[in-house]
């Protein structure tokens, strides 16, 4: 939920029919269901109305939906992309899962593209959960710029 009361999430079965949504008192309920994509989930929204989430785009792809309804898929292509947070600048964080038991936290924005993060102890799996407006990322294990 953002500071304007816009709520995002998922409804329905987890797979293959889960569907992302955006709800606000002003605009009501919007079903986010990209054509041909099956399971979707919206996981974050900023105060500008940018919605971030993941869609089953022949695997699972991260997306950003702008307030006008245009969806942009993140360019991570190998494996599965799980999006978990977005800040006011539109920086998106999540995890790129390459194989079972491994994956890398990432930051994405339209200006700079994808930047992978490495774990503090070079553990083969890292996750980014959220990002604040200063660009600080929280995750597991602790992450630093890579």
pLDDT digits (tens, 9 = 90+) for 63-89: 999 998 888 989 876 678 899 999 999
pLDDT for the residue 2: 96
- Listed in sequence order, the residues at least 6 apart from 123 whose beta carbon sits closer than 8 Å to its beta carbon are 141
- Listed in sequence order, the residues at least 6 apart from 73 whose beta carbon sits closer than 8 Å to its beta carbon are 55, 57, 61, 62, 63
Pair of tokens at residue 47: 């105060």
Tell me the pTM. Answer: 0.86
Backbone dihedral angles phi then psi of residue 19, each to the nearest 5 degrees? -130, 135
For the segment 99-133, what is each residue's pLDDT rounded down to a tens digit? 776 788 999 999 999 998 876 666 667 889 999 99
Confidence of residue 137 (pLDDT cuts 50, 70, 90): very high
In the chain, count of helices (H) and strands (E)?
0, 14
Instruction: Report the C-alpha gap between 135 and 5 in whole angstroms.
Output: 23
- Across the chain, mean pLDDT equals 85
Confidence of residue 143 (pLDDT cuts 50, 70, 90): very low
Burial per residue of 52-89, b for 16 or more beta-carbon CB atoms within 10 angstroms, e otherwise: bbbbbbeebbbbbbeeeeebebbebeebbbbbbbbbee
**Tokens 């986010």 label which residue?**
32
- Listed in sequence order, the residues at least 6 apart from 97 whose beta carbon sits closer than 8 Å to its beta carbon are 79, 80, 81, 82, 103
Q: Is 83 helix (H, G, I), strand (E, B) or coil?
A: strand
Q: Is the pLDDT of residue 146 over 80?
A: no
pLDDT for the residue 97: 85
């Amino acid at each position: 939920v953002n500071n304007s009361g816009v709520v995002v999430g998922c409804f329905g079965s987890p797979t293959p029919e889960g569907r992302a949504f955006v709800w606000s008192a002003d605009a009501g309920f919007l079903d986010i269901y990209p054509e041909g994509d099956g399971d979707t989930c919206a996981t974050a929204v900023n105060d500008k109305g940018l919605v971030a989430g993941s869609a089953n785009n022949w695997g699972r792809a991260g997306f950003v939906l702008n307030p006008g309804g245009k969806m942009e898929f993140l360019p991570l292509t190998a494996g599965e992309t799980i999006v978990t947070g977005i800040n006011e600048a539109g920086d998106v964080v999540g995890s790129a899962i390459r194989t079972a038991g491994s994956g890398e936290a990432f930051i994405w924005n339209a200006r700079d593209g994808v930047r992978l993060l490495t774990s503090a102890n070079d553990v083969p799996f890292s996750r980014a959960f959220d990002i604040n407006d200063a660009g600080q990322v929280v995750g597991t294990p602790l992450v630093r710029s890579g």
